[in-house]
Amino acid sequence: MRPCERLSVCVLAVLCVAAGGAHGGKVLVWYAEGSHWINLQPMLESLVDKGHEVTVLLPNTSMYMKASDTSRYRFLHFNTSVTKESLEEGMEMFLRFTIYEAADMSYPQLIAAFLDMVGIHVKVQLRYLDGVLKSESVMAKLREGRYDVLLADPIFVGSEMVAELLDVPLVFSLRFTAGHTFERLCGQLPAPPSYVPGPLVKLTDRMTFKQRLANFLFYASQDLLAKWFWSSADEYYTEYRGKPTSMCELVGKVDLWLIRTYWDLDFPRPLLPNFKFVGGIHCRPAEALPQDMEEFVQSSGEDGIVVFSLGSYIKNVTMERANVIASALAQVLWRYIGEKPETLGENTRLYDWIPQNDLLGHPKTKAFITHGGTNGIYEAIYHGVPMLGIPMLADQPDNMVRVEARGAARSLHFNAMQSQELLDALQDVINQPSYKESVMKLSRIQHDRPLSPRDEAVFWVEYTMRNKGAKHLRVQAHNLTWYQYHSLDVMLLLLSVALLLALLLVKSCGFCVRRCCGRSRNMKSKSKSKAE
Ligand SMILES: *[C@@H]1O[C@H](CO)[C@@H](O)[C@H](O)[C@H]1NC(C)=O
Ligand SMILES: *[C@@H]1O[C@H](CO)[C@@H](O)[C@H](O)[C@H]1NC(C)=O
Ligand SMILES: *[C@@H]1O[C@H](CO)[C@@H](O)[C@H](O)[C@H]1NC(C)=O
Ligand SMILES: *[C@@H]1O[C@H](CO)[C@@H](O)[C@H](O)[C@H]1NC(C)=O
């Protein structure tokens, strides 16, 4: 064999090994609930498709996760002292608060109640973490597993601690944390308050002076409160490790952040190399509807249908609110679904569950009435369906502000709206061409990217596995103090030098002036004495 031939064989062999590195990786997934779990699944499916082994940590108390969900993942069970009743009670409390009680509260009351809930949430999460850390069998399985990456939604606190203990690269998938505190304070993602509106403050990126002041104060208050939010976690981590450990410090070690938003919904902002924006990760082309549903949709004739959903958390609303919605819908559907109805209600069908994506992708769908959850909004953008928002909780009002700012939606207040208002708004969204045009523009932006969000997310998870972490993408800001970060020490020095120079200048000028004056006085006195 000639040397160059041998060389090419070697190169080929090396290439094969390098390319094969990411195949058959072992992915560990931290538990998640509700829409957060739904959001993780498309990525997990793709990882399985690509030949990776996906193991999901599954607590014995969960409202949404079931081992029967899919046989494509392995499950690692752990026990938690959290009871199903307390979980459901907490959820009920949260919904009651956000839908009904919050509306009557003053701003300070609202903040206090919100903080209270975040505090409770963190404490509950720590009990789940406790179930993992204090179980020798679970920890042994985690160690033996030799996972290549841990994937987590950081709303469910604790993955950062497990990643640290197992020394496994950590990838976060999240929409946002309260006040962007994890991203900004722990992840070092810059968020200038002058043009990056905080989450939940319902502002756009164009702010008046008063709004910028409000946004600034919001971030500042979140910075102060964050320490307090996290205090129970800090205490727990410190006690467990026997040395001072803060949650934020561990969160700051995350290798990669996959943020579930994109520049069709969110406003442009400064980025870091280890933050990837993968909004619309769960979107996919529509599939055929079930037979009876397709017939119902087809019966709408020229007028088309309206899809209405309040998301995965809200199952029932008060009768009075339900009536307001139902009577408006009945009228709308009477107008937009064929001519035949004898009674109004006949045109509104209720389903326990709808194939929302397939309905939104149906050519007969004219509008989407939504609670403003990110998933639904992204599906509507993906399929180009204008929206009518009735936001209720969490980030929903904020999401609707964004879609409204792009002219692709109208928004109503859930507690205050009347049937006529709902009807008028819906007709507006359907009949005014500007809403459809705006949402089609967003849709083009959503589709026009080098990789689909799902492929992009999978790429970065594989990248993290291949490179044994992605710490090389982390900025040095993590190792700076706040005054170094803002170059306050440098400015202080420069200011001191400038002051010193100014002082010297003043002094020397004073000296010159005195000398000159002194000389002229001398000369005067000399000339005076001459004259004498
Ligand atoms: C969970 O608790 C049950 C008993 O309640 C026990 O049989 C099971 O082994 C425990 N599982 C783990 C993973 O510790
Ligand atoms: C989960 O396991 C713990 C410990 O074994 C037990 O106390 C608890 O009742 C279990 N919860 C459920 C919902 O099964
Ligand atoms: C929703 O239904 C549950 C029981 O099914 C009930 O306890 C609760 O009060 C209802 N919520 C509202 C807002 O009507
Ligand atoms: C940051 O500082 C710590 C301790 O001072 C050090 O161990 C670490 O290597 C530094 N990180 C980088 C990226 O330089």
Residue by residue, DSSP assigns 315-329 as ----HHHHHHHHHHH
Contact 282, 375 (CB under 8 A): yes
The pLDDT confidence band at residue 59, using thresholds 50, 70 and 90, is: very high
Strand order through the sheet with 305-309:
305-309, 365-370, 387-389, 409-411
Beta bridge partners of 308: 369
The pLDDT confidence band at residue 416, using thresholds 50, 70 and 90, is: confident
* pLDDT number for residue 88: 84
* pLDDT number for residue 229: 79
479 C-alpha to ligand 4 centroid (Å): 6
The pLDDT confidence band at residue 510, using thresholds 50, 70 and 90, is: confident
Identify which of 78, 79, 138 to mutate to test ligand 1's pocket (most ligand atoms within 8 A of the CB): 79
Q: What is the pLDDT of residues 397-410, one digit of tens each?
A: 889 999 999 999 99
Identify which of 58, 77, 83 to mutate to test ligand 2's pocket (most ligand atoms within 8 A of the CB): 83
What's the chain's average pLDDT? 84
85 C-alpha to ligand 3 centroid (Å): 15
493 C-alpha to ligand 4 centroid (Å): 25
Q: What is the pLDDT of residues 263-309, one digit of tens each?
A: 999 999 999 999 999 999 989 999 998 888 888 888 877 778 888 88
Which one of the ligands is nearest to 319 CA? 3
Mean pLDDT to the nearest integer, 495-511: 93
Q: Kindly report which listed range (133-142, 166-175, 220-229, 473-482) carries the lowest average pLDDT score.
A: 220-229
Token pair of 25 as six digits: 């990786």
The structural domains of the chain, with segments of one domain joined by +, span 24-80+121-280+456-473, 81-120, 291-447, 475-508
Task: Establish whether residue 23 lines the binding site of ligand 2, counting it when its CB lies within 6 angstroms of any ligand atom.
Answer: no
Locate tokens 């609670």: which residue?
Answer: 371
* 480/94: higher pLDDT: 480
Range from 24-38, 60-74, 217-231, 449-463 that averages highest in pLDDT: 449-463
The pLDDT confidence band at residue 85, using thresholds 50, 70 and 90, is: confident
Rg (CA), the chain: 30
* pLDDT number for residue 340: 33
* pLDDT number for residue 321: 66
Say which CATH architecture domain 291-447 belongs to.
3-Layer(aba) Sandwich (3.40)
> CA-CA distances (angstroms) from residue 224 to 199, 227, 237, 244?
16, 6, 20, 20
* pLDDT number for residue 521: 64
Q: Kindly report which listed range (55-69, 272-286, 398-412, 486-500) carries the lowest average pLDDT score.
A: 55-69
> CA-CA distances (angstroms) from residue 410 to 398, 438, 439?
13, 12, 12
Of all protein residues, the one whose alpha carbon is nearest to atom 3 of ligand 1 is: 79
Beta bridge partners of 30: none
71 C-alpha to ligand 1 centroid (Å): 21
* 373/21: higher pLDDT: 373
* pLDDT number for residue 322: 66
Q: At residue 343, does pLDDT exceed 50?
A: no
* Helix and strand counts by DSSP (H, E) for the chain: 20, 11
Q: Name, in order, each residue with C-beta under 8 angstroms of 417's C-beta and a sequence gap of 6 or more.
A: 324, 390
3-state secondary structure 164-177: HHHCCCEEEEECCC
Task: Establish whether residue 431 lines the binding site of ligand 1, counting it when its CB lies within 6 angstroms of any ligand atom.
Answer: no
Q: At residue 17, does pLDDT exceed 90?
A: no
* pLDDT number for residue 95: 75
Which one of the ligands is nearest to 138 CA? 1
Rounded percentage of the chain residues whose pLDDT exceeds 90:
52
523 C-alpha to ligand 3 centroid (Å): 101
Token pair of 336 as six digits: 């937009």
* Fold of the 24-80+121-280+456-473 domain: Rossmann fold (3.40.50)
Which amino acid, residue 68? S
Of all protein residues, the one whose alpha carbon is nearest to atom 2 of ligand 3 is: 316
Angstrom distance (rounded) from CA 278 to CA 310: 23
Q: Measuring CA to CA, which residue among 346, 343, 361, 348 is closest to residue 288?
A: 361
* pLDDT number for residue 336: 31
* pLDDT number for residue 12: 47
Of all protein residues, the one whose alpha carbon is nearest to atom 8 of ligand 2 is: 81
Token pair of 194 as six digits: 């002058």
Whether 24-80+121-280+456-473 shares its CATH topology with 291-447 is answered yes
Q: Residue 247: count other Cβ atoms within 10 Å of its Cβ.
A: 27
Mean pLDDT to the nearest integer, 51-57: 95
